[in-house]
Chain A
Amino acid sequence: MLLNVQNLNVMIPTQGGPLHAVQDVSFSVSKGETLCIVGESGCGKSVTALSLLGLLPKSAKRSASRMTFDGQDMITMSDKQIRALRGNRLSMIFQEPMTALNPLHTLGRQLTDVYMAHRRGNREAARQRAVYLLERVGIAKAAERLGQYPHELSGGLRQRVVIAMALMCEPELIVADEPTTALDVTIQAELLRLLAELQKSMGLGMIMITHDLGLVSRIADRVVVMYAGQVIENALAKELFENPKHPYTRALLGSVPDPSHPRMQPLPSIPGTVPSLVQKMEGCHFRDRCAFASEECRVPIPLVGVGAEHVARCIKTGAQAPNARSTAP
């Protein structure tokens, strides 16, 4: 197992009190596997991703019962050790390509800096690697581009550069946090195809954070559904789409006419609002919006096995929705 995270908790102090952005989150990724994390805005996906790389705001508190990368314990790792992983074996691509690159350095400089941070090699080797990768991510005249600055490139091109940057040191795992949301629809599709292709040819593990269930159905090996800081369902992709157990997952899938539709879709909206993460909720986080909610849902709900490699955080996973679509087993 490449990455294994158990019982991850992240607390961020805010003016209103401690915000429990991530609560008891567990998942794992194997070599070459694609894990998709889906969930509404603010449910803690980005915070989860950032905590993997130790990039949380300084005031945030992270704890976990287990966090390993390729067998190495990431909890007890020194700053130096974690820095040696970042960008080297474990890379991240962010949502906002327009601001992700340093405006004052050339692309070549930023790409080679990553290489030089982890490899003993010289600038020339780094430059060659940069040219190779820029070509791989579909940028023409790569050698000339090295002398350009970020502001000379469109958002789509910048995101390609960021992808190339993340690949400079042949990582084993890439965390992509909504890498295309800020871009045009056509460019989104192109970039996602590129990412999938690169991932396959390089044998990368990937954590893809997205709102797009269509994308999930096409690329995911495994899906984690998050809701208000918690994992509420975790299953192999095929199983999740055919056999969703949690009422929230069902509601999400129920409002997508055809999950394999190639166009980008925002996450379907469900009536009601997400609870605040500032007060820790005792019972089920989805209770206020759940059609099956009852008194029994006021106690802490554990993740329970509901099938082979399939867990859900609900006590009524077998129940049929009143406005039922045929989702029950």
Chain B
Amino acid sequence: MLNYALRRIFMACLLALFVSFLTYALIFTAGDPAAAIAGSASTAADAENIRQIYGFDDPLIVQYLRWVGNVLQGDLGNSLYFRQPVSEIILSRFAVTAQVGIFALIFAMLIAVPLGVAAGRWPNSLIDRGALFIAVVGQAVPSFWFALLLIIVFSITFPILPSSGLGTWRHYVLPVLVLGYFSMPAIMRLTRSGMISALETDYIRTARAMGLSERRVLFDYALRNAALPLISLSSAQFGFMLAGSVVVESVFAIPGAGRLAWESIGRADLPTVQALVLCFSLFYVLLTLLADMLNAALDPRMRMK
């Protein structure tokens, strides 16, 4: 297990390095970064000045290493819009997004896994068809539309839930619903197919032939096996949710990283965008690592590899 974990962590570090390089290269997508930083109302001399300060004249690899060095010390540069260090701005924003994302994932799993288990245990039953319906609708409905629908129903027609901001738990309900609903179908379908194939295996037949209770067969033997692909999917879904947070945070006016990213792009606030992309990517790398670890903890065959 330790061996496996170390190897995975090493791979994750490599991936993180690669991702950081791509992120750094982002700066050059804007054309001349010095001119971009200096702003539209600047002169050529200003840009030259900035070029010197930022060291854009140095070789790319030197620039990159300097940047990595700064990032490792927690220095992500200054926001061109807020005129403060980016690190001070994005940390709380990122926490908000991660929080909403985690709640949404938990919500999605709480609904999707039991539904998927039931649908897999009784294929083509009423519950299976109902679950399929939810899945199809979930995949077809755009999340901004669903968000607006919920706001109309729960904030306007029946004003029981707030439609914007993040003060109390009530503020979380609608965003979590929207974000979670979006990833429910995939989780549910995978749980269903995982259960169906697990229930057809020889070891489930053995367990039944040995008289184990249906509960043990279903949840301890079948679901555990069906959960293996589910873990990887959930981490991927969490990644999608981070992307989806751009829409959801804009609709519900949540001060999160997704909305900040959207606004920063509009403001051409390159250092902030860069820092956000880096954070999102690293978070995703971490998530994948966690999923692998969880899989290894559940599956002894994985640990042996």
Report which A residues bind B (CB closer than 8 A): 53, 55, 83-88, 91-92, 94, 96, 99-105, 113-114, 117-118, 149, 151, 162, 165-166, 168
Contacts and interface: CB of A to CB of B under 8 A. Distances in A.
A49 to B, nearest CB: 10
A118 B209 CA distance: 13
B211 interface: yes
Contacts of B253: none
Nearest to A111: B210
Q: Which of B203, B206, B212, B225 has the most CB of A within 10 A?
A: B206
Q: Is the interface of B mostly helix, strand, loop or mixed?
A: helix
Contact of B211 (A102, A114, A151, A162): A114
B212 A114 contact: yes
B208 interface: yes
Nearest to A79: B214
B299 A103 contact: yes
A104 B299 contact: yes
Interface of B: 201-203, 205-214, 216, 221, 224-225, 298-301, 304
Given A55-B205, A99-B203, A101-B206, A85 B211 contact: yes
Contacts of B203: 99-103
Nearest to B123: A58
B205 A114 contact: no
A102 B225 contact: yes
B87 to A, nearest CB: 43
B209 A151 contact: no
* Highest count of chain A CB atoms <10 Å: which of B209, B214, B300, B301: B209
A104 B216 CA distance: 14
A117 B207 CA distance: 10
14 contacts: A55-B205, A55-B208, A83-B211, A86-B211, A87-B212, A91-B209, A91-B210, A100-B206, A102-B206, A105-B221, A114-B211, A114-B212, A117-B212, A165-B206
Contacts of A96: 202
Contacts of A99: 201-203
Contacts of B208: 55, 86
Given A103-B299, A103-B301, A104-B298, A118 B202 contact: no
